[in-house]
Amino acid sequence: MGAIGALLYLAFIIAVIVGMFKTFKKMGYDDAWWLIIPILNIIFILKVIGKPLWWIVLLLIPFVNLVVGIYVSWLLSSKVAKAYGKSDGFAIGLLLLGWIFYPILGFGKDQPVRTA
């Protein structure tokens, strides 16, 4: 049972990663593969939300990183939802249940209304 569970977990993780990749690829980001590489994923997210690279320093400061991390996550979710013409409710879904909502956008027929 352990091997089957591990394979299901791996399939789930791959589906989420591919869903996010396809979501950002549809938005016109050719470097969406950066999402799977540590540090580069932070640079990619800052690029998407339009914030300067020095914000990485803010993510290294204890307690400040919590506030900045939540803020950056909300900006990303909001920007992706707006790019696809979705509501703030969908943005909350991306923020809290991204493992469901990113594959919906990536594998679904929705096309971005505009690039973020």
pLDDT tens sequence across 32-50: 888 888 889 899 999 999 9
pTM, rounded to two decimals: 0.84
Residue 78 near residue 88 (C-beta atoms within 8 A): yes
Q: What percent of the chain has pLDDT over 90?
A: 61
Cα-Cα-Cα-Cα torsion 113, 93, 41, 116, nearest 10 degrees, comes to 20
Tokens of 75: 């900006």
pLDDT of amino acid 115: 58
